Amino acid sequence: MTQIFKTTCAAIGLASLGLLAFAISPALADIHCASEPGISSVNSNVATNMVFKAVGENDETQFKIYWINFEGQRQEYRHLFAGETWSVNTYLSHPWLVTAPVPGGGEDCIAIYLPSENRRTVVLD
């Protein structure tokens, strides 16, 4: 699994961020939002699945889920509310970005999530 992670990270330009210095699994390899400008999907070679589960204190909790496409642009896929779960078929080199609304308008990025070889569940709270 570590080799696939290293290959994936190198392919999406994460090596320059120093993330390869750690022997971590993809499930622990969430990327800080500040890195978004240098990230994009690379290929569609290794299929996998991700599950996003929204939890929250009330039904106003919500998230937007974006796929970061091959040009490094956000492509909105899903608006998820507290209590909802969404499963998406994806590829190992496809990063997913999650945002939450900001009072008064706009949205803040929470993190960028990388798929793993096996189904990965991301809990959003």
Looking at residue 1, its pLDDT comes to 34
Residue 22 DSSP code: S
Looking at residue 29, its pLDDT comes to 57
Q: Is the pLDDT of residue 6 over 50?
A: no
Is the torsion defined by CA of 19, 20, 23, 28 positive or negative?
positive
3-state helix, strand, coil in the chain (%, to 5): 20, 40, 40
* Rounded Cα distance, 99 and 67, in Å: 12
Looking at residue 89, its pLDDT comes to 98
Residue range 10-37: average pLDDT? 55
Q: Is the pLDDT of residue 85 over 60?
A: yes
97 forms bridges with which residues in the sheet? 66, 112
For the ranges 16-25, 47-56, 74-83, which has the lowest average pLDDT?
Answer: 16-25
Q: Is the pLDDT of residue 71 over 90?
A: yes
The answer to whether 50 and 122 have CB atoms below 8 angstroms apart is yes
Q: Is the pLDDT of residue 12 over 60?
A: no
Residue range 63-75: average pLDDT? 98
Q: Is the pLDDT of residue 5 over 70?
A: no
119 forms bridges with which residues in the sheet? none
The answer to whether 65 and 96 have CB atoms below 8 angstroms apart is yes
